[in-house]
A and B are shown apart, each in its own frame.
Chain A
Amino acid sequence: MSDCHDTPVQTDSRLSVKDVNAPLIALAGQPNMGKSTLFNLLTGLNQHVGNWPGKTVERREGHFNLDGRTFRLVDLPGTYSLTANSPEEVIAREFILCEQPSVVVAVVSAANLERSLYLVAELAALDAPLVVALNMMDVAAQEGLHVEPQVLEAALGLPVVPMTASRAEGVRELLGVVQEVLNGKRTLGPRPPEVRADHREVLEKIEGLVAAYVPAPYPQSWVALKLLEGDTEVARTMQAALPSEIWESVQAVLRQHDDAFLAVASGRYEWIGRMLRAAVTRPRIGQIGLTERLDRWAAHPLWGLFILAGILGLVFGLTFTLGTPLQKWLDGQIVVPLAGLAAEGLAGAPSWLRGLVSNGLIGGVGSVLTFLPILVVFFAAFALLEDVGYMARAAYVMDNLMHLMGLHGKSFLPLFLGFGCNVPAIMGTRVIDSRPARLLTILIAPLVPCTARMAVVAFIAPAFFGANAIWVSWGLVLLSLLALISSGGLLNRVIFKGQRSAFIMEMPLYHIPNARTIALLVWQRSLSFVKKAGTTILAMSLLVWVLSYLPDGNLNTSFLARFGHFIEPVGRWMGLDWRLTVALLASFPAKENAIATLGVLFGNSHKAGLAGTLAASFSTASALSFLVVTMLFIPCMATVAVTKQETNSWGWTLLSVFLLLAISVAAGAGVYHLAVLLGL
């Protein structure tokens, strides 16, 4: 818990001024309850994805209109409880306590009421106006569960609206009830749960001790409850607020009851049990659900791995068969003619300006943007697997392998995303609960070969290896993964001292994917990639171009070439001459720049010609080494930028860069000398 001023509500700048006074509605709910589906349904494209202030937790805010009135909607992070187990949980409760939304809509699943009401039990203790959205009525019906919303409503003392967000059913009714609460036409009388009987006395004792000192927005009974639960954030706040002798007595009481969190949790489940006995009729459990049948294969320790490998193969196959022709088409039909057109249009301008625009600007950024189709296909496949519920199974079957690196299954998900692009992979490490495990995953994520690196391989490998190019490509991918596993294992031992975080993860039910949810996910991930291309990549492409132009407009005597010659001795270890070394350096703004740079260096931007020229200029050993180093080289600029953003530390960011530099130089030198020994 922090001071409320730390978390100002930042109004989306794209919302107009009148909207600031619009009623604020918060969506709360556990993961896999359909909360995002509801949020997307209400806001559509009127939403903005950012970060919570000072945190690397995604913040989604949007607005919608109803009967001529505008509403602001904030999607709180999906959390199982509101105890300070994770930053998400602290954010959700601080938002409700400090920003005091007009209504909090708690999304629960009718098919899984027992677990999903746990969060409602926590929310009810916060004194916020609460409306329960009883989602997934269709799934409950399929499973033969009979849930009576009006009985639940009476038992909870809160409005309960049955709905099926995936089919947009019940949304009007939900908004109607929200309006009634806003207009004061509904009186709420929640009956929050009590702690288990054997701990009521100690709770009263704590409340009595702290009563006079609880800071402003926090309800005192809630503070006492959280202290009893051993909540670290609340404890820190109260330690500051209480006179030291009172804090000592509170501590003394808490020390005698260090397992009290179980009494609090049990009290909540007892409360939930009463609600369920009233409102839910359960059939005799007999039939095996679809999820269980699918999981016999998908979560099997052996078959599960085969299925995962098959799905991965399918995703990559699809990505490259659909995305690559589009990428080539964009490059050939749009970027190259555009650059030519610009050069023509600027015929009268000084040659440096012509080069800057057509090579630096259009050539650099344009070629990065042509990767968008490949990424869109990959992101769509990933989002589909995520929405269907498969990704939890992938994490589960990969748990054993991830243990080699002291990580657990959850780290596999961001690494998988890294095959598309390392940038969302590093952002995706947010799913990992412990900071050491998250940092380790961030450090090794750039070793996952992304589509841009595979594009370089796809261009160079056939020139040198002909029909064997496919095997060389697979070998390079395997080498990258080997580097990933061994450096992960090593880092875990050296830096993280073999720490392991707990693997506790819900396995959601499989369900029919929601097109809207997937489309929005793809849209948001693609948009952040385009934004990167428009800013950081643009700046770096221009810088590289300027360095290759100055001081006299001749590449072979430019600053870039001089720098290439300067570090050529390092390149020599790996069998690379100054041109290949410069191409590697130029891959920093964007990996696929390596090819464009070679094109410039050999004065031969026509790609078909370049492949032949390269094959004639370098030995197979040098080519192999170049490919290996390209695969493992320092992360691209966008990845470095996002690493800084997510770790919030230059130390870790630099470590990430040096780690990959060391690995790539070592691997390149090793492969080169081995290849020379083998007579390549």
Chain B
Amino acid sequence: MADVKCIVTHSAGIERLGEFEINEMDAVETRINDTEIHVTRKRVSVSGGLSVVGLLFGPRGLDCKMDVFVGPNKINEDGPIKADYKSRAECYLFNWSKR
């Protein structure tokens, strides 16, 4: 069991955020400033893998990315995880998993 923390940074202009899940369970979202949100969930079983799903609502052209930490270790070795623009809902979608 480990603590998981996601640091989401985005360009200004976000309308609302929501529905972050870490391994299919609701996570706690904490707004740090206009461009940064921390998403955390404690005591997560990550030995089988880790998935993070989340939505950020805002206008087109937002730059939106995320770093994921398990305990003190950053596990997205290939650089920040970028969010996909989801046209129908006018929002940005994180749908990331690591097995």
Bound pair: A and B?
A: no
Residues on A facing B (Cβ under 8 Å):
none
